[in-house]
A and B are shown apart, each in its own frame.
Chain A
Amino acid sequence: KAGVTQTPRYLIKTRGQQVTLSCSPISGHRSVSWYQQTPGQGLQFLFEYFSETQRNKGNFPGRFSGRQFSNSRSEMNVSTLELGDSALYLCASSGLAGGPETQYFGPGTRLLVL
């Protein structure tokens, strides 16, 4: 089975711009979660989507949004970029709703905001 894929892998933007990141989960997985990883804050949970619905949300401002499509692919959007948004954005997918499902991560998108 192919793993989780994320595009693009690297991105450079300037303050004030917006960005859209994409994540394709493992085939058959219906849950997609997004995380932001920075040296100062570590791994922080952004949100989780399951069957096109946001099921959990972390403590991030409304500039961070996401969606999930019927094929379980997910996109994350950040509007009005700030310097502090520079981070590694990780996407993870898991299988069924409920139960101790393992999350499998993609390679991440490294975003640099100048």
Chain B
Amino acid sequence: AQKITQTQPGMFVQEKEAVTLDCTYDTSDQSYGLFWYKQPSSGEMIFLIYQGSYDEQNATEGRYSLNFQKARKSANLVISASQLGDSAMYFCAMRKNTGNQFYFGTGTSLTVIP
């Protein structure tokens, strides 16, 4: 069974600083995808970034980057230059490449302090 672990229930970061949100996963599959989503208080899940298990380079999307360490089975999200609007829940998810089911972690609540 696939399992996604986010060990930080809550994080605080000063505005304009960088922050790393941790995510580890457990799978016996060789081919899979890793995703990060942001969920503001409104409830909608917003896609941030994707990393394929065979991608050799870490994914980047604007201020978001994914620190992918395949041997350690970790896929940490790095947010650079935090903004007040980054305050939200952040979920790490994994998708097996056989089928379309996503497995989500329990989330990390990020608060950006002015």
Contact = CB atoms under 8 A, between A and B. Distances in A.
A100 interface: yes
A81 to B, nearest CB: 20
Given A48-B100, A48-B101, A100 B43 contact: no
A56 B43 CA distance: 24
A88 B43 contact: yes
A24 interface: no
Given A42-B107, A100-B95, A107 B101 contact: no
A44 B68 CA distance: 25
Nearest to A105: B45
A94 to B, nearest CB: 6
B6 to A, nearest CB: 10
Interface string B73-114: 000000000000000000100010111111111110000000
Chain A contact-residue range equals: 20 to 34
Interface in B4-46: 32-33, 35, 37, 42-46
A106 B35 contact: no
Interface in A57-114: 58, 88, 90, 92, 94, 97-108, 110
21 contacts: A31-B100, A33-B100, A42-B106, A42-B107, A48-B101, A55-B99, A55-B100, A56-B100, A92-B45, A92-B102, A94-B100, A98-B97, A100-B97, A103-B35, A103-B47, A103-B95, A103-B100, A104-B47, A105-B46, A106-B44, A107-B42
